[in-house]
């Protein structure tokens, strides 16, 4: 099972997670001549590149997929999809440490969601942004789950994720109204002006002008001219893409959700909001509550409040993040930032590394994750230089142990040939009229069944 026709270093590196960080890391390790095993929870590789980028962005997704396919074809790269790592999963962290690899890198993203932390956050019609994004990207477990959004949807946040969700709600769900809610003002909006083109056809320009008039004095108090800011913001509504939808989109600024208000059926009926003012904070501003509360009627709420890692994986964990080495090495990139660390023993976890959102949750998207994977590869390369080179038989031994454990656990790993069979089947399917982008099966069971048929 070792690489054929090429000299390898004798080191085996296991990469857990096949998103942009993991795939960048795996490529660097493979190109350096190491044997690489990729373990991925999902059947398909890609992570956020597959399930986080808006599905109609075919050119971006296609370019990334091409790179990933090419890397997986390398003879010293071995892919195991549909393999989860964690307590009670297909493999534990201790299982991985016992396989005999030289290093194990976790690039498993941030699979948990931060608690919203307001009364009523468990009501029907309250959603986390990540779940909504995974839904319209057809991630198994969420792709075929009903998302009843109602007529008026509030999205908490004004970044690019908000725009993607608004795009889906307007063009594909055709809700009556979408309102993006911001704790601060329009100057502090975070979305990319190019991204807003996806929904600016549907902007309620009169409503936005009314909203600016409402907050005009509070903007002036920090030296912001409402008329100038409005002109600057609406000037970005150019090259708007047609949506074919009657939906209207607006904004509510200087507003903090305090409670989700529900009806007798525990269904969202409104948000209780607090009016905010802006106060200077260095070169930026901060939102300060005015203790003035009011009701804002909505049918559902999508909170984009960030992510946290999954504490059940079995890595050292504290306060929503995996613990990394606090003792800096002074190298660039600093090894400590990527090393798992056990605070109880005061020692690094030997040979265990972190990259991407597993290391720093919600930090950027594909480009940032790739860079983090590259940096982690540099750190692992320095680490491997201190380790005794393993024998050429190690790869076969590691793979054999891995297959034995997965068979005992009744796991159903998917290899490169299985991925190719699935890809051929999905490409042969025409996308349904309500689908976005390419056809995808929305359940693991469907994918596994078609992989078996494709191989047969």
Residue ranges of domains in the chain: 12-111+308-414, 115-305
Q: Is 114 exposed, middle or buried (0-12, 13-18, 19+ CB in 10 A)?
A: middle
Overall size of the chain counted in residues: 456
Predicted confidence at residue 363, as pLDDT, reads: 78
pTM of structure: 0.90
Q: Say whether domain 12-111+308-414 belongs to CATH 3.40.50.2300.
A: no
Residue 411 contacts residue 90 (beta carbons within 8 Å): yes
Q: Regarding beta strands 339-342 and 347-354, do their DSSP bridges make them parallel or antiparallel, or are they unpaired? A: antiparallel
268, 310, 280, 345: which is closest to 88 by C-alpha? 310
Residues 6 or more apart from 241 whose CB is under 8 A from it? 197, 198, 201
Residue 293 or residue 48, greater confidence: 293
pLDDT of residue 146: 87
Q: Are 155 and 165 in contact (CB under 8 A)?
A: yes
Average pLDDT of the segment spanning 145-172: 95
Q: Which of helix, strand or coil describes residue 455?
A: helix
Exposure string over 285-311, b if 16+ CB within 10 A, otherwise e: bebeeeeeeeebebbbbbbbbebbbbb
Architecture of domain 115-305: 3-Layer(bba) Sandwich (3.50)
Q: What is the pLDDT of residue 5?
A: 40
Tell me: the pLDDT tens digits for 77-108? 999 999 999 999 999 999 999 999 999 999 99
The residue behind tokens 């004095």 is 217
Instruction: Tell me the DSSP string of 109-130.
Output: ---EE----SBTTTSBTEEEHH
Cβ atoms < 10 Å from Cβ of 343: 11
Number of Cα atoms under 13 Å in the Cβ half of residue 33: 10
Specify the pLDDT at position 7.
62
39 cis-preceded (ω within 30 degrees of 0):
no
Phi, psi angle pair for 349, to nearest 5°: -85, 105
Q: What is the pLDDT of residue 408?
A: 97
Is pLDDT at 1 greater than 70 in this prediction?
Answer: no
Q: What is the Cα–Cα distance from 251 to 246, expressed in whole angstroms?
A: 17
CA distances from 391 to 103, 131, 136, 395 (A): 15, 44, 46, 9
Please report the DSSP string for 32-47 in residue order.
Answer: TT-EEEEE-SSSSS-T
Strand partners, 437: none
pLDDT of residue 45: 97
DSSP 229: H
Within a 10 A sphere around the Cβ of 232, how many other Cβ atoms?
Answer: 13
Q: pLDDT tens digits for 439-449?
A: 999 899 999 99
Going by pLDDT thresholds of 50, 70 and 90, the confidence category of residue 392 is very low
pLDDT recorded at residue 60: 87
Q: How many CB atoms lie within 10 A of CB 363?
A: 13
């Amino acid at each position: 099972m070792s690489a054929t026709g090429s000299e390898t270093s004798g080191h085996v590196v296991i990469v857990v997670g096949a998103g942009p960080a993991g795939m960048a890391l795996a490529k660097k390790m493979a190109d350096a001549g190491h044997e690489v095993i990729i373990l991925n929870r999902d059947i398909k590789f890609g992570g956020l590149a597959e399930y986080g980028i808006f599905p109609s962005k075919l050119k971006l997704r296609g370019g990334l997929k091409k790179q990933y396919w090419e890397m997986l074809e390398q003879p010293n790269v071995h892919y195991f999809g549909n393999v989860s790592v964690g307590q009670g999963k297909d493999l534990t962290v201790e299982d991985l440490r016992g396989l005999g690899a030289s290093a194990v890198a976790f690039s498993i993203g941030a699979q948990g969601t931060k608690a919203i932390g307001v009364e009523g956050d468990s009501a029907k019609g309250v959603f986390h942004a990540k779940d909504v994004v995974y839904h319209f990207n057809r991630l198994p477990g969420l792709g075929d789950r009903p998302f009843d959004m109602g007529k008026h949807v509030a999205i908490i946040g004004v970044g690019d994720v908000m725009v993607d969700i608004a795009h889906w709600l307007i063009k594909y769900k055709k809700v009556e109204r979408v309102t993006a809610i911001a704790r601060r003002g329009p100057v502090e909006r975070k979305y990319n002006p190019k991204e807003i083109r996806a929904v600016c056809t549907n902007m309620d320009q009169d409503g936005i002008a009314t909203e600016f008039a409402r907050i005009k004095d509070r903007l002036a108090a920090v030296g912001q001219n409402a008329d100038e800011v409005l002109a600057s913001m609406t000037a970005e509504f150019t090259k708007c893409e047609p949506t074919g939808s009657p939906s209207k989109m607006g904004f509510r600024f200087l507003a903090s959700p305090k409670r989700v208000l529900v009806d007798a059926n525990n269904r969202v009926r409104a948000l209780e909001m607090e009016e905010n003012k802006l106060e200077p904070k260095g070169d930026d501003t901060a939102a300060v509550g005015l203790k003035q509360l009011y009701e804002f009627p909505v049918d559902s709420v999508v909170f984009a409040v960030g992510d946290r890692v999954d504490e059940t994986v079995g890595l050292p964990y504290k306060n929503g993040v995996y613990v990394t080495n606090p003792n800096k090495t002074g190298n660039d990139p600093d090894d400590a930032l990527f090393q798992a660390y056990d605070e109880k023993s005061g020692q690094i976890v030997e040979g265990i590394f972190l990259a991407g959102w597993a290391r720093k949750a919600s930090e950027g998207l594909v480009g940032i994750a790739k860079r983090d994977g590259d940096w982690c590869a540099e750190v692992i390369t320095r680490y491997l230089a201190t380790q005794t080179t393993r024998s050429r038989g190690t790869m076969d031994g590691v793979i054999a142990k891995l297959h034995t454990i997965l068979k005992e656990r009744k796991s159903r790993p998917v290899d490169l040939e299985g991925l190719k069979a699935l890809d051929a089947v999905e490409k042969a399917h025409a996308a349904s009229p309500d689908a976005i982008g390419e056809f995808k099966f929305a359940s693991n069971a469907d994918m596994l069944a078609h992989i078996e048929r494709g191989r047969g």
